[in-house]
Amino acid sequence: MEQQIRFCSSFDGTRIAYATAGSGPPLVMLTNWLSHLEFDWDSPVWRHWLTEFSRNHTLIRYDRRGCGLSDWEVQDFSIEILVKDLARVVDALELEAFPVVGICSGSPVAIAYAVRYPERVTRLILHGSFGVKHYSRYSEEEIEKFQTMLRLMKVGWGQDNPAFRQFFTTLFMPDATPEQMDWYNELQRISTSPEVAFRILKQISDTDTRSILSEVRTPTLVTHSRGDAIVSLDEACELATRIPDARFVPLESKNHLLLKDEPAWQRFLAEVRAFLGTGISESGPGSPQDVFPELTPREREVLQLIALGLDNGEIADRLFISSKTIRNHITHIFDKLQVDHRAQAIVLAREAGLGREQQDVR
């Protein structure tokens, strides 16, 4: 798979680099606060994201102003400005309607764009997201952590020694391998200057989209790692609560950026595929235990039979247990998977690779 990199000019003449990869209907991806289109492409941190998102779609992503291949010498990183940059990229590609993925600080931009252009955004997927990250809401501990981050940027961001940047990497991905950590350390060094990184982080601390969250009319999926040290689970819950009818899915992970080999990544993919209505990845689904680690072995057996289309009586006969016990299992499954009815559970299970007769169900 290859990507094509091009450039467009934003409303103020700032050069914005954007890339396309894959084929099929468009999918626009807004990544976190720092990116580099070329360096991200073959990385051990982003490669699985890019591979999966471009498998059934034409994936569109871009370096925000101040980062990567886009112009660095800019001063304003407000949401209003970043929404205009996104609009220019979309117009350059002559896109009409498309789903948008917003990750971390890309999420407020995705939300604001969806509110301004509801006719264009067909689905909204938000991961590691927040609606408000305003400095005035920080606890004393969060203020101290934030001030430490700013001091470290000023002191050591651009140095060859990665010791200062390791602080950020550990917060973002505490379970990363040494290779993944080394790569993310290097991304921080080459993606932008210390001054720009400082200004971007300061702008993030002033983000507050609470006033427009109720105006989102796009079907929205919000996923979040329970142990995320960058954006707390409470912040994501607040975001999902304020967006009308948003589906919220907590993931069993400590990583802000989901890593390829953790079960939460398979669960995330199953949710996204079901939400977008795309097929199972060519790379094949993970095992049921990997995809749905929150379920007990018996609950996974029941979910497998639900995905096969069996009713409660048929499942009870197959597993030699009572219909009442099956109903209890199904109640627990729906609660854990955050689904409201059987049809949703079937879609989610089948997108995860369940519902195949040849699989061993005892």
pLDDT in tens, 325-343: 999 999 999 988 888 889 8
Least confident of 60-64, 225-229, 314-318: 314-318
Q: Are residues 95 and 231 in the same domain?
A: yes
Res 358 pLDDT > 60: no
Q: Are residues 317 and 214 in the same domain?
A: no
315 inside domain: yes
CATH number, domain containing residue 338? 1.10.10.10
Q: Are residues 250 and 114 in the same domain?
A: yes
Q: Are residues 343 and 211 in the same domain?
A: no
Least confident of 62-71, 160-169, 189-198: 160-169
CATH number, domain containing residue 115? 3.40.50.1820
Res 359 pLDDT > 50: no
Give the pLDDT mean for 125-139: 82
Q: Are residues 249 and 332 in the same domain?
A: no
Domain total of the chain? 2
Residue span of the structural domain in which 40 resides? 3-132+207-276
Give the pLDDT mean for 299-317: 90
Give the phi and the psi of residue 224 in degrees, each rounded to 5.
Answer: -160, 140
Q: Which DSSP string do the residues of 182-248 spell out, in sequence order?
A: HHHHHHHHHHS-HHHHHHHHHHHTT-B-HHHHTT--S-EEEEEETT-SSS-HHHHHHHHHHSTT-EE
Q: Name the domain boundary from 276, 301, 321.
A: 276
pLDDT in tens, 225-270: 999 998 999 999 999 999 999 999 999 999 999 999 998 998 899 8
Least confident of 44-48, 200-204, 286-290: 286-290
155 inside domain: no
Helix residue ranges per DSSP H, the chain: 37-41, 47-53, 79-92, 106-116, 140-156, 163-172, 178-191, 194-204, 210-213, 233-242, 263-276, 288-291, 297-307, 312-319, 323-337, 342-351
195 inside domain: no
Percent of the chain with pLDDT over 90: 57
23 inside domain: yes
346 inside domain: yes
**Per-residue pLDDT at 95:** 96
CA distance 309 to 312: 10
329 inside domain: yes
Q: Are residues 231 and 342 in the same domain?
A: no
332 inside domain: yes
Where is mean pLDDT largest: 17-31, 128-142, 165-179? Answer: 17-31
Q: How confident is the model at residue 63 (pLDDT cuts 50, 70, 90)?
A: very high
